Amino acid sequence: MRRAPAATRARTTSSGASKRTTCLRTAWIEGRWRAPRRRPHNARGHGDRMHANDYQRRKDAWLELSELEPAARAQRLDAIAREDAALAAALHAQFAAAGQPVALLDRASAVAGAPALPQYRVLRELGRGGMGRVWLAERRIGDAVQQVALKQILHGAWNAEDRRRFERERRILAGLAHPNIAALVDGGSDADGVPWLATAYVDGERLDRHVERAQPDLATRVRLLSKVAAAVDHAHRHLVVHRDLKPANILVDRAGEPKLLDFGIARLLGEEAITTTGSSQMTLRYAAPERVRGEGDATAVAGDVYALGVLLYELLAGASPYGDTRDQSALIAAILHDQPPAPSTRATIAGVDADLDAIVLKSLRKRAQDRYAGADAFAADLERWLAREPVEARRGERGYRARAWLRRRWAWPVAAALLLGALAYHLHALDRELDRAEAERDRAQALAGYFGELFKGARPADTERGDISARELLERSVAELHRDAHRPAATRASMLMAAGDALGYIGQSAKARDAYALAVELLRSASADPETLARALSELASHRYLAADRVAARRDVDEALALVDAGHVGDPHLPITLLQQAAMMDEEGGEIERARAGYERAIELARPLLHTREGVESYLAAQINIATWDMRENATLPQAEQRLREAIATAAREAFDDPYSLFPMRTYFARVLYDQYKLAEARAVLDPVVTEARAWYGKDDTWFGLILSHAATLAMLERRGADAIALFDEAMATQVAHDEEHPNRWAMRSDRAIASIQREEWPDAIARLEAVLAWRARSGRADGDNARFERAALAWARCRAAPDPDRRAALDEALVTSESFRGWKRWLAREWRGACGGVTAPPGR
Triad 374, 376, 381: Cα angle to 5°: 105
The dihedral formed by the CA atoms of 539, 541, 545 and 546, expressed in degrees to the nearest 10: 20
Residue 239 DSSP label: T
For 283, 324, 364, the CA distances from 339, given in Å and listed in that order, are 19, 15, 9
Q: Give 338's contacts (C-beta < 8 A, 6+ positions apart).
A: 322
Q: Degrees (nearest 5) of the Cα angle 591, 595, 596?
A: 120
Residue 544's contacts (CB-CB under 8 Å, 6 or more residues apart) are 513, 550, 552, 553, 556
- C-beta separation of 813 from 796 below 8 A: no
* Active-site entry in 162, 233, 244, 381: 244
H or E element, residue 18: strand 18-19
Strand partners, 8: 29
Using the Cα atoms of residue 288, residue 292, residue 293 and residue 294 in order, give the sign of their dihedral.
Answer: positive
AA identity, residue 820: S
Phi, psi of 17 (to 5 degrees): -80, 130
For 154-209, the three-class secondary structure string (H helix, E strand, C coil) is CCCCCCHHHHHHHHHHHHHHHCCCCCCECCEEEEEECCCCCEEEEEECCCEEEHHH
What are the residues facing 127 on neighbouring strands?
134
Q: What share of the chain is helix, strand, coil (3-state, %, to 5)?
A: 60, 10, 30
Phi-psi region of 652 (alpha: psi -120 to 50; beta: other; left: phi over 0): alpha
The set of long-range contacts for 187-192, using a CB threshold of 8 Å and a minimum separation of 24, is 188/117, 190/115, 190/116, 190/117, 190/152, 191/116, 192/155
Strand stretches in 504-635, DSSP E: none
CB neighbour list of residue 176: distance below 8 Å, 6 or more residues apart: 183, 184, 234, 235, 238, 240, 263
3-state secondary structure of 11: strand
Rounded to whole angstroms, the Cα distance separating 684 from 681 reads 5
Instruction: Give the H/E segment covering residue 603.
Output: helix 592-606
Nearest CA to 360 among 319, 324, 403? 319
| Buried-state track 66-94, b at ≥16 Cβ within 10 A, e below 16 | beeeeeebeebbeebeeeeeebbebbeeb
Distance CA 305, CA 31 (A): 32
Phi, psi of 232 (to 5 degrees): -65, -40
64 vs 85: CA distance, rounded Å: 17
Active site residue 143: no
Q: How far apart are CA 652 and CA 673, in angstroms?
A: 20
- 184-189 β-sheet, strand order: 120-128, 132-141, 144-153, 195-200, 184-189
CB 791 within 8 A of CB 814: yes
How far apart CA 493 and CA 514 sit, in angstroms, is 12
CA dist., res. 314 & res. 362, Å (int): 15
Helix (H) or strand (E) holding 416: helix 416-453
> Which residues are identified as catalytic?
244
